[in-house]
Amino acid sequence: MLSAPCASRFLIFATQMTTPGIINLGILSHVDAGKTTTSEHIFFLGGTVAAVGDVNKGTTLTDSMEVERRRGVSVRSAYDRLLWEGQRINLIDTPGHADFSAEVERALQILDGAILVISAVEGLQAHTFALWHALKSRDIPVIFFINKTDRAGANFEKVLQQIQSELGVAVAPLTVPVGQGEDAVMIKSVFDEKQPTAEGFRKLTLENLADYDNDILEIYLAEKSLEESVVHHHLQRQVTARTLFPVLAGAAKWGHGIAELLDAVVRFIPPTIDTATTLSAIVFKVEFDNTLGHLAHVRLFDGSLRVRDKVWNHTRQLEEKVAQIKRRVNGRLIDETFLSCGDIGIVSGFAQARIGDILGDDHAVPATAQVMQPVLTVQVLPNDPAQFAALAAALTQLNREDPRLALKWYKTEHELHVQLMGKIQMEILAETLLSQYGLQVQFGAPSIIYKETPAVSAYGFANYTMPKPCWAVVKFLVEPALAGSGITYTSIVSVDKIRQKYQNEIAGIIAKSLEQGIRGWEVTDVKITLVGGEDHEMHSRPGDFIIATPMALMDALTKSDTKLLEPVFDFTITAAESLLGKVASDLHQMRAIFDSPTFSGETFSMHGTVPAATSTDYAARLASLSGGLGQLRLSLRGYQACPPGEGVSRSYKGVNPLNRSQWILHARGAFRADERRM
Ligand SMILES: Nc1nc2c(ncn2[C@@H]2O[C@H](COP(=O)(O)OP(=O)(O)OP(=O)(O)O)[C@@H](O)[C@H]2O)c(=O)[nH]1
Ligand SMILES: [Mg+2]
């Protein structure tokens, strides 16, 4: 029997066979596995490009940024459309370096299915696991593509085994490489009776399918022959249900195995159907174009969009009008009047829209999936101090395109800070600032992003009644809360004491007030209760409680004192047994906590937790220690208390609410400036 979600997915697919919708297909992998090369050949076969570009020459469709072309590495996700067997497909090529995981996360939210590319030489890499978990958490159907089967050292069978044992999934190999060496490798169907090497793989596919499908089991046990098309038909349900994963072989560089891969995509990945009821869409990318202005890339999950439609931005609670709709067709932007359900398009006119905004309502928009989170923060400085304003403007624009940069502009200190995943992202940021904005920059020393939490419970008080006209009195109880609980806020003060409109001001400013605590980091895992205070019928003015609340909260944090929290990773290390002693001693020095190792063949593997502060460069150290054979997988577990003596406090940036007179002057000035602007 099919489970309910599986059955309904299948029905959706069956309807689509007559009226094909659109498949939004992502291509994901660890760095350098051949995503862009594979995409280029797909675009060629699908009629998008007239000639196949080469990443090494900087001539591919999806690596279009100058820095991507120069370095031959993808930095941003890029997409275009193609047609295969009458099926429309939007293909989204994503970057493979872990530093650009935010791009992959944004792509994951718009996918109907994914190709996960793995190199036949390098096999599963640390980042493959992170991608796999993200795909799993979003229930996205996946087709594996084992690429580079032409290269010396390629081992299709070994990688197939790795997928089964390390990702713990049932596979259905559909093609195999035959022959070896550049241009000599051929990709054949496992149903090709003339290929003796195909037989074992065919058996694996049939056995795995029979495990989930009684019809196939009966035919298989009766030793009757099974048509390839029958197998495909039955496999369809298992792929959408994510119980079985097709695996195909290829050598993208030579265009081998690409047509078979596309066949599998249209066979197994159900397109979004055009129910076209009410609009439910997401902004997954924003761009600033010199002639077209602010562009929002949208993916429609339900409903449709027309030029001049007034569209409700559910996230920002405002309405904006569609000025123009464009679609990427064959590498160019084409004007459209209409965007149908399931499709991706570019809208101008949404000046307020930001990445992640939901348009219409959220009934069909899937949840986000996280791949990685930045743990480093760094100051960016212009080489020429006179270019500070230009740098601030450039970073503001880049921050719109990639909000994960979390740009902080500390105006009093004249400092610009961004959050980063790692060194490669830092290099690319510097190159982008130079090539796109003509700005030469340097970076301060990167720091781990710490957080802080109250050490004990304490009350905080603020009495903002001078200089008149003003009146806001507040008293909070600030208490430590469970790790990972974030900020919770409640009020037990009646609206007779502080009117609702002022209580709303207080609730609205709590999170902002906690962006920096007494050690200079974001305050978290804290319970805040408004326990007392008053407004004044005559003297209280809008904004007074916005000034008083941060003063009272900082007062409470000073009294409670705070503890530093540090980011901690879950880790898995695998390496040769001979390195066990060295690795274990490194781990001790890194303040890691770990289980006893397990052994398999000549390698060991070890799991545990390790602080980010000691481990962000260990993957590279392990690689050089092990001649590239050791592997370190990290995934953020959360924040934990720093042991005494560890962690770094920093000074408060901007005007500190504890400095009462300066704070009041500054905050009042800011309001006046806001009023003038209004
Ligand atoms: N021999 C061989 N080389 C390949 C194959 N596919 C890709 N390459 C090479 O591998 C390198 C990386 O290819 P890309 O297509 O840029 O890989 P990618 O996965 O897009 O890389 P990132 O986007 O930077 O993660 C290039 O030098 C390609 O020419 C293949 O099938 N065989
Ligand atoms: Mg690429």
Hey, what amino acid is at 600?
S
- Atom of ligand 1 at shortest range from CA of 74: 23
Residue type present at position 192: D
Per-residue pLDDT tens over the stretch 262-296: 999 999 999 987 676 899 999 999 988 888 889 99
- Do 72 and 58 belong to one domain? yes
- Would residue 55 count as lying in a domain? yes
**DSSP codes joined into one string, 278-340:** S-EEEEEEEEEETTTEEEEEEEEEES-EETT-EEEETTTTEEEE--EEEEEETTEEEEESEE-
Question: pLDDT tens digit string along 428-440?
Answer: 999 999 999 999 9
Has residue 53 been placed in a domain? yes
Residues near 669 by beta carbon (within 8 Å), at least 6 away in sequence: none
CA–CA–CA angle 274, 278, 281 (5° rounding)? 80
- Angle, CA 318 vertex, CA 312 and CA 322 arms, to 5°: 50
Q: Classify residue 371: in a domain, yes or no.
A: no
Q: Is the peptide bond before 469 cis (omega within 30 degrees of 0)?
A: yes
**CA of 116 relative to ligand 1 center, distance in Å:** 14
| Distance of alpha carbon 122 from alpha carbon 627, whole angstroms | 13
What is the CB neighbour count within 10 angstroms for residue 167? Answer: 18
Q: Is the CB of 68 under 6 A from ligand 1?
A: no
**CATH number reported for the structural domain that contains residue 410 in this entry:** 3.30.70.870
pLDDT at res. 299:
96
* Statement to judge: residues 636 and 658 lie in one domain: no
Q: Tell me whether residue 254 is in a domain.
A: yes
- Cα(75) to ligand 1 centroid in Å equals 14
The CATH number of the domain holding residue 495 is 3.30.230.10
Q: How far apart are CA 398 and CA 400, in angstroms?
A: 5
**Is the residue at 664 inside a domain?**
yes
225 and 356 assigned to the same domain: no
Is residue 542 helix, strand or coil? coil
Q: Which of 449, 467, 501 is the last residue of a domain?
A: 449
Question: Ligand 1, residues 31, 37, 125: which to mutate, most atoms within 8 A of Cβ?
Answer: 37
408 lies in the same domain as 382: yes
Does 518 map to a domain? Answer: yes
- 8 Å CB contact between 367 and 138: yes
Q: Contact at 8 Å (CB) between 580 and 560?
A: no
Regarding whether 224 and 120 lie in a shared domain, the answer is yes
Strands 562-576 and 522-523, bridge-based pairing: unpaired
For residues 496 and 14, the model is more confident at 496
Distance CA 503, CA 499 (A): 6
Against a cut of 0.85, is the pTM above it? Answer: yes
Whole-Å CA distances, 615 to 175, 304, 471, 514, 523: 40, 47, 50, 28, 24
pLDDT mean over 392-414: 93
- Flag whether 274 is in a domain: no
Cβ 533 under 6 angstroms from ligand 1: no
The helix/strand/coil state of 462 is strand
At 673 the pLDDT is: 53
**What total of structural domains would you count in the chain?**
5
Quote the domain boundaries for residue 429: 376-449
Q: What is the pLDDT of residues 60-83, one digit of tens each?
A: 998 988 888 888 889 999 999 999
Q: How many whole angstroms separate alpha carbon 77 and alpha carbon 286?
A: 12
Contact 36, 62 (CB under 8 A): yes
Q: Look at residue 412 in the predicted model and tell me its pLDDT.
A: 87
Domain co-membership, 155 together with 287: no
My answer on whether 422 and 456 are in the same domain is: no
Does residue 272 have its Cβ closer than 6 Å to ligand 1? Answer: no
The reply to whether ligand 1 has any atom less than 6 angstroms from the CB of 428 is no
